[in-house]
């Protein structure tokens, strides 16, 4: 008998961990994904978004689906609000790969797609404001990757001199965040074609 797996698309709000169980030894009041929706047992997040990051997170009860989506066969697109007006030289460095630290060693990121947005994206406001223009200008960039090391986009923008202030994943493969709102969950029959 074939197992019927369940799949979900979630707009992870900032301030949540991309997990269902708090594995930290210290007792903390971290917000977990299970507080957003009544997910079935054995649901797993496909990849992660760190606590301050937000946006598209796919969840499934199927390990094979999770493994495929985490692979380098599937593009992931992020919008990053960075500190300062990013330069074309910095964008070029991101595209060609930059050195970041990963698991205690230096790692050169794969080539990727990146460009500066002409206007601020139309995404929901954060619960907590990051800062305002009194602290200096900011700019938005799109980064499209086929890899996902721990805090990779934040490390990449820092490596070219522009710290990430806000990070929103807007696309995984052909699934887009589009008009979803923070905390919204949509159950779907399958995740990727």
83 carries an active-site annotation: no
CA distance 171 to 190: 16
Q: Does residue 157 contact residue 80 with C-beta atoms inside 8 Å? A: yes
Q: Which two tokens stand for residue 134?
A: 């009194």
Which of 84, 81, 52 minimizes the C-alpha distance to 141?
81
Cα separation values, 84 from 27, 57, 94, 165, Å: 37, 28, 16, 10
Q: Does residue 20 contact residue 33 with C-beta atoms inside 8 Å? A: yes
Please pick, among 14, 50, 62, 193, the residue that the annotation labels catalytic.
50
CA atoms within 13 A on the CB side of 145: 22
CA distance 69 to 146: 10
Q: Does residue 7 contact residue 191 with C-beta atoms inside 8 Å? A: yes
Q: Does residue 141 contact residue 149 with C-beta atoms inside 8 Å? A: no
Show which residues are catalytic. 50
């Amino acid at each position: 008998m074939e197992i019927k797996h369940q799949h979900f698309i979630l707009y992870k709000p900032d301030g949540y961990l991309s997990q269902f169980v708090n594995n930290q030894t210290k007792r903390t009041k971290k917000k977990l994904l299970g507080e957003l929706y009544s997910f079935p047992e054995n649901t797993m997040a496909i990849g992660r978004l760190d606590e301050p990051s937000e946006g598209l997170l796919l969840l499934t009860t199927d390990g094979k689906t999770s493994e495929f989506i985490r692979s380098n066969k599937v593009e992931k697109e992020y919008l990053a609000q960075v500190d300062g007006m990013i330069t074309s030289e910095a964008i070029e460095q991101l595209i060609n790969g930059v050195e970041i630290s990963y698991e205690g060693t230096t790692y050169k990121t794969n080539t990727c797609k990146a460009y500066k947005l002409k206007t601020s994206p139309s995404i929901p406001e954060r619960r907590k404001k990051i800062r305002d223009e009194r602290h200096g200008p900011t700019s938005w960039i799109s980064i499209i990757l086929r890899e996902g090391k721990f805090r990779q986009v934040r490390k990449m923008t820092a490596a070219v001199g522009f710290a990430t202030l806000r990070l929103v994943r807007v696309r995984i493969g052909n699934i887009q965040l589009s008009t979803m709102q923070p905390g919204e969950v949509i159950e779907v029959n399958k995740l990727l074609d």
